[in-house]
Amino acid sequence: MTAREAIFGAIGAAGERAVADEAAIAAAAAGLLARCAPTRPAQGAGTAREIFLRRLRSPALGASVAAVGRAAEVPDAVRRHLAAAGLAPVVALQPHPALRALDWSGFDVRPAIAIDETAAVGWAHGGIAETGSLVFRSGPDSPTLFAFLPLHHIVVVPARRIRPWLEDYATLEAGEAWPRNLTLVTGPSGTTDIEGRLVRGAHGPAHLHVLVLDEGG
Partner 1 sequence: MSAMAEPASFRARVAAAVADPRLAEAIARTTGTARRKRAAAVASWADFASARALGRDIKDHVIAHLGHYLALFERNARASGAEVHWARTAQEACDITVRICRAAGARRVTRAKSMLGEEIGLPHALREAGIERIETDLAEHIIQLAGERPSHIVWPALHKTREQVAELFRARHHDAARGADVAALVASARRELRAGFFAAEVGISGANFLIADSGAVCTVTNEGNAELTTTPPRVHIVTAGIEKLVPSTAHAMTLLRLLVRSATGAEVTQYTTFHCGPKRAGDPDGPEAFHIVLVDNGRTRMLAEGLREMLRCLRCGACLNHCVVFRTIGGHAYGGTYPGPMGAVLTPALDGLAANRDLPQACTLNGQCQEVCPVAIPLPKLLRGWRDRSWREGLEPATLRRSLALWRFCVLRPRLYRLAAGGAVRLVRMFARNGWIRRMPFAGGWTRDRDFPAPPARTFLEQYHRSSSARGERR
Q: How far is the CB of 31 from partner 1 (least distance, A)?
A: 9
Q: How far is the CB of 181 from partner 1 (least distance, A)?
A: 5
Nearer to partner 1, 98 or 166 (CB): 166
Q: How far is the CB of 3 from partner 1 (least distance, A)?
A: 4
**C-alpha distances in angstroms, 120 versus 12, 123, 155, 196, 204?**
52, 10, 8, 29, 12
Nearer to partner 1, 6 or 84 (CB): 6
Q: How far is the CB of 160 from partner 1 (least distance, A)?
A: 22
Give the integer Cα–Cα distance in Å for 91 and 104: 10
Give the integer Cα–Cα distance in Å for 207 and 154: 8
Total Cβ atoms within 10 A of residue 127: 30
Nearer to partner 1, 87 or 182 (CB): 182
Give the integer Cα–Cα distance in Å for 217 and 211: 14
159 three-class SS = helix
Closest C-alpha to 53, from 217, 209, 216: 209
Nearer to partner 1, 108 or 194 (CB): 194
Q: How far is the CB of 81 from partner 1 (least distance, A)?
A: 20
Nearer to partner 1, 69 or 140 (CB): 140
